Amino acid sequence: MGKLLSFVAIGALLASACGGGGPGPVAAPGSPSAAPPTTVADIALYAAADRQKVLEAGAKNEGTVSLYTSAVAPTMPLIIEAFQAKYPFLKVEMYRADNAELNQRFSQEEQAGKRIMDVLETTTDGMTAFISNKWLQPYASPETAAYPKDSLHPQAIWAPTRASYVGLGYNTKLVSKADAPKTFDDLLDPKWKAKMSIASSATGVRFVGNVLFSKGEDYLKKLGAQNVRVQNVSGRALADLVVAGEIPLSPTIFDSHVADSKSQGAPIEWVPLEPAVVNLAAAALSAKAPHPNASMLFIDFLLSEQGQKIYFDHGYGSTRNGIGAGAATFKKLYLENVTPNYEESFAKWQALLRSTFTAQR
């Protein structure tokens, strides 16, 4: 409980700088508050002994949670189903899109003065604009005690919900297991010329960042000579193209997408081209959440052992202690952690992607 108090105290001090306005007094764990919290900031940081009771009472009046997410089916619908079974008085309304669409939609709503989104669940690189614009509210959840400290946002703006890894996806009807590339160098084999594609989204951009970090600019030029096509689609859509056989193989495929497709009998396999870039997704709270009590219950559930097991059972990694430990033993790269001035570097990688590879027409 002492760790939670420290987390809450840090969050309270930083809340005014990170969004949602300055929080009011936050009751210390162990003693109920004299009055229930009312503002988004107070509810988000509430840590008194009656926290669960207070949140449930407030959530019953709110009745719903508006979730914006980039998670693909069937994972999030199953999580929502389990959450609504636990809290039958709540309904989760989900809007699913990629990061660019999530950002655009919320920006338009913000400009129009609308308050729709409660919880944002997407990759951490997709939260950059939300954080810089102070659209997110720091929060405290008792579930974060089960997570390594370095996996949590330092200002308590988000906590990790799922981890996936970017590697090589290939169609097993077109590429044999023996022939499939196992390393970055294998991608330079002449037999793969004009047979590979990469995503134009952040996934492809981060692939370029990985290549520069792991192999250098000379390798990137050699890979460009392989006539790699850039597909203007998301990582999920690109995996579907591999499944359909329209693309034999791609080094910008998520292991979670492959696991989902394989569970449905699709002819696709995945290989970690080491180091595999870690794509971390997290849960964040809108600074103007219209249903803050229900939102905190939902965030708690996403981070809980029950919620994390659903993610894990559908191909995602988890940073929560005790969930799927040792499942992914290959070398991993947390690109944000090894890249100074990440936003500037991302822009450079994006330009290199466009200049190095061939856009699909």
Walk me through the domains of the chain, giving residue ranges and CATH numbers.
2-163+279-313 (3.40.190.10), 164-278+329-359 (3.40.190.10)
User: DSSP alpha helices (H): ranges in 122-234?
Assistant: 128-132, 202-214, 217-224
> Would the pLDDT of 4 be above 60?
no
Tokens 């950002």 correspond to what residue?
A: 103
Region label for 350, one of left (φ > 0), alpha (ψ between -120 and 50) or beta (otherwise): alpha
Measured distance CA(53)–CA(162) in Å, rounded? 27
Cβ proximity of 311 and 162 under 8 Å:
yes
Q: Which of 14-28, 207-221, 254-268 has the highest mean pLDDT?
A: 207-221
Which residues lie across from 66 on neighbouring strands? Answer: 93
Cβ proximity of 151 and 319 under 8 Å:
yes
Closest CA to 283 of 77, 67, 48, 35: 67
Confidence grade of residue 107 (pLDDT, cut at 50, 70, 90): very high
User: DSSP alpha helices (H): ranges in 142-263?
Assistant: 202-214, 217-224, 235-244, 255-263
Q: Please give the average per-residue pLDDT across 60-71, as a whole number.
A: 97
Closest CA to 63 of 282, 287, 297: 297
pLDDT, greater one: 7 or 304? 304
pLDDT (tens digit per residue) in 309-327: 999 988 788 989 998 755 5
Largest CA distance in the chain: 72
For the chain, percent of residues with pLDDT exceeding 90: 71
pLDDT value of position 360: 65
> Would the pLDDT of 336 be above 90?
no
pLDDT value of position 234: 84
pTM: 0.73
pLDDT value of position 334: 83
Q: Which of 196-200, 276-280, 325-329 has the highest mean pLDDT?
A: 196-200
Measured distance CA(34)–CA(48) in Å, rounded? 10
The two three-digit tokens of residue 71, written as one number: 């998670």
Q: Characterize 259-298 residue by residue with b for buried, 16 or more Cβ atoms within 10 angstroms of its Cβ, and e for exposed.
A: bbbbeeebbbbbbbbebbbbbbbbbbbbbbbbbbbbbbbb
Q: How far is CA 176 from the centre of its chain?
A: 31
Measured distance CA(288)–CA(294) in Å, rounded? 13
| Cα angle: 227, vertex 266, 76; to 5 degrees | 100
Q: Please give the average per-residue pLDDT across 16-22, as a whole number.
A: 41
The two three-digit tokens of residue 153, written as one number: 């946002």
Sign of CA dihedral 249, 255, 257, 259: positive
Residue 3 CA neighbour count, 13 Å, CB half: 9
pLDDT (tens digit per residue) in 32-42: 556 789 999 99
